[in-house]
Chains A and B, each alone.
Chain A
Amino acid sequence: MNKTLIACALLMLAMTACRTAVNTVENADTIGVSNIIEDKRVVTDGTLKRRVDVTAINDRTAANGFKQIQIQLTNRRNTLQTIFYTVEWFDADGMKITTAGGGWTQQQFMARESLYIVLTAPTINANDFIIKLVEKPR
């Protein structure tokens, strides 16, 4: 009897953990056209990739010539995930451009949620970028 109760309690706990999953509804014929760019990936943490993944990156150039990128990050699990991300920008000579703002940002994702992060290049010369993702170090 006790074992059945414990099993039920564990099952209920597991079910409550799945409650935060995100459902979405969008217009079927999307009007906006994204300029999805090809990317090159280096995965050193397979566990993180299985949890939160960069689904797509698209870009555009603003009227004053500044490059903007939009990163779509997706939580692939049925549980809350928290990660850190940062974006580093580089000029035409491949030199990193340092900024006072930005840096590592902690981001929480609901289960199965996709988040869109828009970033602007820090100077008109910044064209290349690297997105870094990491789990909270324990």
Chain B
Amino acid sequence: MNKSQIITVQCLLVATFGMMTGCTTAPTRIQAGGPTAVTTMGVDLADFKNTAGAMVKELLVHPAIANFSQQNGGKLPALNVGKILNKSDINIDMGQIAGRINEDLLNSGTVELVANDAGARDANAQDAFESDKKNNNAGKADFYLEGEIMVLAAKEGKLREKNYTFQMRLNDRNRKTRWQRSVDIGKQRRGGGVAW
């Protein structure tokens, strides 16, 4: 091996090493659900945040919520999360959508939330027992946030499309639906990967 060949081999080794190190990057903190976040064909954080935001902006000014206090002597409407059915083909944590809606409604000062956490329920049950009450109205809600998540899939050649529909309803104690909104999220990708 002459001198120029040795230099060439050394250069190739350095270049290969450089390329290999270039393939790996250190983890970076990003804005969760922001423009740099990964968009999946499933439901990702940005979808949950956008859907919750789209629903809250309407609920905040909907007469059922907005006028409740005025019509009920200053009492804020109590809201409870009912059943949200997942009819899609992926596993979805319903807390991501219902929790965000509840959080923004609660922080807006327009509603009270019925707590369903174990500690609050136990303490309330104990108080009811000690005061010799069969039950109290602590868990009684004025509205129930219920709904379902559906999916539609389509494909054309290598083009894959999934449309998720988040449909939420605000039902009252008289089994009347006071508000309903469907938020559609469409995802499309091209290519023959293993993912749907």
Given contacts A104-B31, A134-B35, A137-B35, whether A99 and B104 have CB atoms under 8 Å apart is yes
Q: Which residues of A contact B35 (CB under 8 A)?
A: 84, 104, 106, 134, 136-137
A102 touches B49 (CB 8 A): yes
| Residue A37 lies at the interface, judged by CB distance under 8 Å to chain B | no
Provide the bound-state CA to CA distance between A122 and B33, in Å.
19
Stretch at the interface among B55-63, B119-127, B147-155: B55-63
| Residue A64 lies at the interface, judged by CB distance under 8 Å to chain B | yes
Q: Which residues of A contact B108 (CB under 8 A)?
A: 66, 122-124
What's the dominant secondary structure at chain A's contact region? loop
Q: Which residues of A contact B60 (CB under 8 A)?
A: 62, 64, 66, 120-122
B104 touches A64 (CB 8 A): no
Which 7 A-B pairs give the minimum distances between C-beta atoms? A101-B52, A102-B53, A101-B53, A64-B66, A120-B57, A62-B61, A100-B100
A124 touches B39 (CB 8 A): no
State the interface size on chain A (CB cutoff 8 A). Answer: 24
A104 touches B57 (CB 8 A): no
On A, residues with C-beta under 8 Å from B are 62-64, 66, 68, 84, 99-106, 118-124, 134, 136-137
A106 touches B46 (CB 8 A): yes
A103 touches B57 (CB 8 A): no
B31 touches A66 (CB 8 A): no
Q: Which residues of A contact B104 (CB under 8 A)?
A: 99-101, 122
23 chain-A/chain-B pairs, Cβ below 8 angstroms: A63-B66, A64-B61, A64-B66, A66-B61, A84-B34, A99-B107, A101-B49, A101-B56, A101-B101, A102-B52, A103-B33, A103-B46, A104-B33, A104-B46, A105-B53, A106-B46, A120-B56, A120-B60, A120-B61, A122-B56, A123-B107, A123-B108, A137-B36
